[in-house]
């Protein structure tokens, strides 16, 4: 009745995704939705205190058929959990006392996955890889940045905002609850195109991307580069931008005309795929 008036929007509590009826009539694969809660955001110093994984079967079309396995475990860090993390997640030192994530179980559940998906894959991947090497050789997708949410009518990219747009709510900032929320979003058709969200993510994740470095750019052009969405690498002392392969020549032309103002042909570029994208191996502030 409230919704029928047009004056109200009603949010319903998210329920775990139900199995799709019937037998798949297409090739199927194994995917993982992963989420971590941590003591902070410093990849070198902070630790995972909760790991959630949903293992699921999906088809070549992007249709999700069923959840195969669930893992949700707590871990006691070396140092007390900061108060702000407890306020955010509700996880206390007492909750994690004596608890340890089962590394063998993580390796087993992850071994046959074709893709690992997180809502901020750059963070989750870099937190997971040092602890569980099985994640290093997996294809990763980012549901936050590899689905065109804004073009599909959503103003915010946070999990809670996207759920609310779909008339749903959940208990956020706990690993397995965020995993269930994300899987539910991936299973839905997008609002404008009608394409399944998982299909849109997979199509983007499969495309190679190129990181183009504006090596030796004049310092007075930094505002132009920032406006163009270039980012600064303190380690390499250089501006860079990540692009689809078909955008590279357009971007080189921009740099020649607006930044260097002279012909230039030797700008360095790095090519990434889902196998190494979002990894510390490709983070310009870490590793190689």
Give 253-273 as a 3 state SS string.
HHHHHHHHCCCCCCCCEEEEC
Find how far residue 128's CA is from the centre of its chain.
12
Place 283 in a pLDDT band, splitting at 50, 70 and 90.
confident
Q: What is the mean pLDDT of the chain?
A: 95
pLDDT at site 135: 97
Q: Percent of the chain at pLDDT above 90?
A: 93
Torsion sign, CA atoms 236, 241, 246, 250 = negative
For the chain, what percentages of helix, strand and coil (3-state, to nearest 5) are there? 30, 25, 45
pTM: 0.92
Give the pLDDT mean for 93-107. 98
SS3 233: strand
* pLDDT of residue 288 exceeding 60: no
* CB distance 273 to 280 below 8 Å: no
Compute the CA torsion angle 36, 40, 43, 45 (nearest 10 deg).
-120
pLDDT in tens, 32-45: 999 999 999 999 99
* pLDDT of residue 73 exceeding 70: yes
* pLDDT of residue 136 exceeding 70: yes
* pLDDT of residue 286 exceeding 70: no
Full set of structural domains in the chain with CATH: 2-206 (3.30.420.10), 209-280 (no CATH)
pLDDT in tens, 167-210: 999 988 899 999 999 999 999 999 999 999 999 999 999 999 99
Give the pLDDT mean for 128-138. 96
pLDDT at site 176: 96
Give the pLDDT mean for 245-261. 95
Give the pLDDT mean for 1-20. 93
* pLDDT of residue 227 exceeding 80: yes
| Angle between the N-to-C axes of helices 197-206 and 175-186, in degrees from 0 to 180, rounded to the nearest 10 | 90
Decide the pairing of beta strands 12-13 and 168-169: parallel
Give the pLDDT mean for 266-277. 95
* pLDDT of residue 16 exceeding 70: yes
pLDDT at site 265: 85
Place 287 in a pLDDT band, splitting at 50, 70 and 90.
very low
Give the pLDDT mean for 52-56. 98
Which residues, including other chains, have CB under 8 Å from residue 58's CB and lie 6 or more apart? 28, 29, 30, 31, 64, 65, 198
């Amino acid at each position: 009745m409230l919704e029928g008036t047009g004056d109200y929007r009603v949010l319903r509590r998210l329920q775990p995704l139900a199995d799709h009826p019937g037998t798949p009539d297409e090739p199927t694969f194994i995917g993982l939705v992963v989420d971590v809660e941590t003591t902070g955001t410093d990849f070198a110093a902070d630790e995972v205190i909760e790991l959630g994984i949903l293992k699921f079967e999906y088809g070549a079309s992007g249709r999700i058929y069923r959840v195969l396995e669930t893992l949700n475990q707590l871990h006691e860090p070396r140092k007390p959990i900061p108060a702000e993390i407890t306020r955010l997640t509700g996880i206390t030192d007492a909750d994690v006392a004596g608890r340890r994530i089962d590394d063998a179980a993580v390796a087993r559940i992850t071994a046959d996955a074709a893709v690992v998906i997180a809502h901020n894959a750059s963070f989750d991947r870099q937190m997971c890889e040092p602890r569980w090497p099985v994640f290093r050789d997996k294809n990763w997708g980012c549901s936050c940045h590899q689905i065109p949410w804004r073009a599909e009518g959503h103003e915010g990219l946070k999990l809670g905002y996207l759920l609310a747009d779909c008339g749903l709510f959940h208990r956020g900032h706990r690993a397995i609850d965020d995993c269930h929320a994300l899987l539910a979003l991936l299973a839905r058709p997008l609002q404008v195109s009608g394409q399944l969200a998982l299909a849109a993510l997979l199509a983007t994740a499969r495309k190679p991307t190129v990181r183009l470095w504006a090596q030796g750019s004049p310092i007075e052009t930094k505002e132009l580069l920032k406006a163009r969405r270039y980012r600064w690498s303190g380690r390499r002392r250089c501006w860079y931008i990540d692009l689809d392969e078909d955008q590279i020549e357009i971007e080189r032309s921009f740099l020649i005309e607006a930044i260097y103002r002279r012909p230039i042909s030797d700008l360095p570029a790095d090519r990434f795929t889902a196998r190494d994208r979002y990894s510390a191996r490709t983070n310009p502030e870490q590793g190689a």
